[in-house]
Amino acid sequence: MKITKNKNKMLNNLDTAKVYEPIEAIKILKEKSYVKFNETVDISINLGIDSNKTDQNIKGVVNLPNGSGKKVKVAVIANEDKHNDAKNNGADIVGNDDLIEIISKSKIEFDILIATPDMMPKLGKVAKILGPKGLMPNPKLGTVTNEISQSVKDAKTGQVKFKNDKSGIVHAGVGKIDFSEEDLLENIKTFYSSIVKSKPDAVKGSFIKKVTIASTMGVGLNINQASLR
* pLDDT in the model for residue 5: 65
Kindly report, residue by residue over 87-139, the tens digit of the pLDDT: 999 999 999 999 999 999 999 999 999 999 999 999 999 999 999 998 999 99
- Which pLDDT value is given to residue 6? 65
Task: Decide the pairing of beta strands 112-115 and 93-95.
Answer: unpaired
**Res 29 pLDDT > 90:** yes
Alpha helices (H) in the chain, listed in sequence order: 2-11, 22-32, 83-88, 97-104, 120-123, 127-130, 148-156, 181-197
The mean pLDDT of 190-215, rounded to a whole number, is: 95
Q: For residue 1, what pLDDT is reported?
A: 45
15 pLDDT band (50/70/90 cuts)? confident
Domains of the chain: 18-68+159-228 (3.30.190.20), 74-156 (3.40.50.790)
- Mean pLDDT, range 19-34, rounded to an integer: 93
At what angle are helices 181-197 and 22-32 packed, to 10 degrees? 130
- The strand pair at 93-95 and 221-223 is best described as unpaired
pLDDT at 76 over 50: yes
